[in-house]
Structure 1
Amino acid sequence: MFTPSQADVRRFFCGAYAKGRQGLPMEPLELLAWQWIERHPEYHAELADLDAALASMHVVHEARDNPFLHLSMHLSISEQCSIDQPPGIRQAVELLAARRGSLHAAHHEVMACLGRMLWESQTHGRPPDGATYLAEVQRRATADGA
């Protein structure tokens, strides 16, 4: 399994941003990243400056999202849906997207569930609970008034 470092992640997204802006050929994962990057213009300035992105790796900005974490979560959810892992996630995200009228909005709701699952896993020192994660996404996708 490939486990990229924080610097690797920042290089990847900054590189995908640069290639996308220049219209250069991209690998499939870079293309997927570029599609999410385009939906987040608020991150473009940070993605445009790799040196600054690497220099600020250990700086915590309490008032805003980490663009690299946010985009990584978009990629994770996209990958989960593409392979339907955990089983049922694709259908739940598709239903949530239909109810919200936007895949992007659905992803942002799923991020809350994914973040909670990862936090619980790290806090309690146990493996991520995919069943609880899926149940939370399904609940959001099927809740009355959603």
Structure 2
Amino acid sequence: MFAPTQHDVRRFFCETFRKERAGEPLTPLEAIASDWISQHPEYHGDLADAEAAVAASFEVEEGRTNPFLHLAMHLSISEQTGVDQPRGIRQATDLLSRRLGSLHEAHHEVMECLGQMLWTSQRSGLPPDGEAYIDCVRRRATR
């Protein structure tokens, strides 16, 4: 199982951004990441300097979104829907995307559910509850 460190994740996104700008070939995973990076130009400055990115601190109290966490969640949701794991996440995300008229905005809604599931799991010490996650996405899709 691959378990990247925070620095690995940050370097991955910075390198993907660099390669895209240089017109270099991207791996399939980098191509997905690059699509999300292109939809977040507000993060391009953070992605342009890998060393600064590795050293940066994105504290909630500062009011800044962590671009690497945000992009990693987009990537995770893309992977989850691609393989429909947990089962039902593809259909729930598709439904939400149709309701909102935007896959990007749907991902942002799904992120809220994903974050809630992970927070609950960390607090309780129990495994993540995939059914609760999908139910959360479905509720957002049908409100």
Structure 2 length-normalised TM: 0.96
CA deviation map 1:118-140 (0-9, x unaligned): 01111111110001000110111
The list of structure 1 runs, each at least 4 consecutive aligned residues, that deviate by more than 3 angstroms after superposition, is none
Match of 1:98 in 2: 98
1:136 equivalenced with 2:136 (yes/no)? yes
Match of 2:19 in 1: 19
Match of 1:60 in 2: 59
Match of 1:85 in 2: 85
Offset of residue 54 of structure 1: 1.0
Match of 2:74 in 1: 74
Q: What SS class does the counterpart of residue 98 from structure 1 fall into?
A: helix
Residue type of the alignment partner of 1:141: A
Q: What SS class does the counterpart of residue 53 from structure 1 fall into?
A: helix
1:4 equivalenced with 2:27 (yes/no)? no
Q: What SS class does the counterpart of residue 36 from structure 1 fall into?
A: helix
How many residues in Structure 1 have an aligned counterpart in Structure 2? 142
Offset of residue 64 of structure 1: 1.6
Match of 2:44 in 1: 44
Structure 2 Cα separation of the partners of residues 142 and 109 of structure 1: 12
Structure 1 length-normalised TM: 0.94
Identity %: 62
Structure 1 Cα separation of the partners of residues 38 and 132 of structure 2: 31
Name stretches of at least 5 consecutive residues in structure 1 with no aligned partner.
none
Structure 1 Cα separation of the partners of residues 58 and 141 of structure 2: 35
Structure 2 Cα separation of the partners of residues 13 and 45 of structure 1: 12
Residue type of the alignment partner of 1:100: L
1:88-127 alignment to 2 at 5 Å? 88-127=88-127
Offset of residue 59 of structure 1: 4.8
Residue type of the alignment partner of 1:128: P
Q: What SS class does the counterpart of residue 85 from structure 2 fall into?
A: coil
Residue type of the alignment partner of 2:59: V
Residue type of the alignment partner of 1:2: F
Offset of residue 53 of structure 1: 0.6
CA RMSD of aligned residues (A): 0.9
Offset of residue 61 of structure 1: 4.7
Name stretches of at least 5 consecutive residues in structure 2 with no aligned partner.
none
